[in-house]
Amino acid sequence: MDNVQISQLALWGRVQRWLQKGFTYFTLLFGLFIAITPFIWMILTSFMSLGEAQGIRWIPSSLHFENYAIAWQRAEFSNFFLNSVKIAAITLTGQLTVSVLAAYAFARIKFPGRDLIFGIMLSTMMIPAMVLIIPNFLTVTWIGRIGPIPWINNWPALTIPFMGSVFSVFLLRQFFAQVPDELFDAARMDGAGHLRFLWKVVMPLAKAPLMVIVVFSFIGSWNALAWPLLVTNNDDWRPIAVGLYTFIDEAGQELNLMMAGAFITIIPILIIYFFTQKQFTESIARSGLKG
């Protein structure tokens, strides 16, 4: 093997690496194009005049910012926005408390009937949801009737049914089960009970899955539509999805306004996602693998 050949080989290797890199970037960019084109189209359309939105144009000739103002006012988003934030916050708090406690017990304490109860819970995830709506509506009205506060047209009907989330319990249990036993033994030595161990040791370790629950629970209550419509009769507690829905119903023929309205409602989700995406993807991956 002489020197020429070696340098030729090295050159070839370099070309190959470039080609490979080029191929990688090309494929990824192509994928990226497909993934975000709908978003770009949506944003561009939301800035168009009606005629442009229904025509062939991709780029608006001038930016109609007023579409957003019109959509905001006509859909009365400010009230709905606040409601959605309140609903999401209550649901989130409740769901986190309930699921953390249950997940801890399922993961770290052995008690009779544990696997049976957990199995029954899991199986409920596979039931088509539409048949559950009417019975749940009846339950909610009944609890509201005999309980201390009304549920219909009020926050309990919109939040409490979503606090017991099988998915959250499952996700957290998977994570809690991975916490090493030694940590618990050590904590026991220091005289800590379950609750203290959970609060002081486990929770700080579980930031990532907690973040997933935050995001999913937020998205869930932000997008809920059919149920809120059923359990509310006025705008006092109606969430933003209802606002968007009735707005689309009225403005269905005005594509530009519709897209502006839709974009307004997804902005908060995008913000939350961008801020939590690191933990989010990390723990989705973890939960996925252990399923």
By CB under 8 A, what part of segment 98-127 binds another protein?
98-99, 101-102, 104-106, 109, 111-114, 116-117, 120-121, 123-124, 126-127
Q: How far is the CB of 77 from another protein (least distance, A)?
A: 13
Q: Would you give the DSSP letter of residue 57?
A: -
Nearest distance in Å: CB 38, another protein: 5
- Looking at the Cβ atoms of 7 and 142, the one nearer to another protein is 142
3-state secondary structure of 112: coil
In the region spanning residues 200 to 239, those forming contacts with another protein, defined by CB under 8 A, are: 215, 219, 222-223, 225-226, 229-230, 233-235
Cβ pair 248, 173 in contact under 8 A: no
Q: Could you give the CA distance from residue 72 to residue 244 in angstroms, rounded to a whole number?
A: 10
For residues 78 and 147, the answer to whether their CB atoms sit within 8 Å is no
State CA 84 to chain mean position distance: 14
- Using CB under 8 A as the binding rule, whether residue 161 contacts another protein is answered as yes
Supply the Cα-derived Rg of the chain in whole angstroms.
26
SS (H, E, C) 147-198: CCCCCCCCHHHHHHHHCCCHHHHHHHHHHHCCCCHHHHHHHHHCCCCHHHHH
145, 157 contact by CB (below 8 A):
no
Among positions 5-64, residues that touch another protein (CB under 8 A) are 21, 24, 27-28, 31-32, 34-39, 41-42, 45, 49-51, 54-56, 58
The answer to whether 267 contacts another protein (rule: CB under 8 A) is no
Task: Give residue for tokens 């940590």.
Answer: 183
- Looking at the Cβ atoms of 161 and 209, the one nearer to another protein is 161
Whole-angstrom distance, CA of residue 71 vs CA of residue 263: 10
In the complex with another protein, the residue whose CB is nearer, 7 or 37, is 37
Residues of this chain, 67-86, that bind another protein according to CB under 8 A:
74
How far apart CA 258 and CA 250 sit, in angstroms, is 9
Using the structure block, give the residue that is written with the tokens 């919109």: 158
Is residue 257 near another protein by the rule CB under 8 A?
Answer: no
CB of 252 to another protein, least distance (A): 7
The single residue among 72, 205, 255, 279 that binds another protein, judged by CB under 8 A, is: 255
| 149 counts as binding another protein under rule CB under 8 A | no
Residue 3 beta carbon to another protein: minimum distance, rounded to whole angstroms: 25
Interface positions, 171-190, toward another protein (CB under 8 A): none
Per CB under 8 A, the segment of 11-19, 130-138, 175-183, 199-207 that binds another protein is 130-138
CB of 207 to another protein, least distance (A): 17
Q: Two tokens at 99?
A: 């699921």
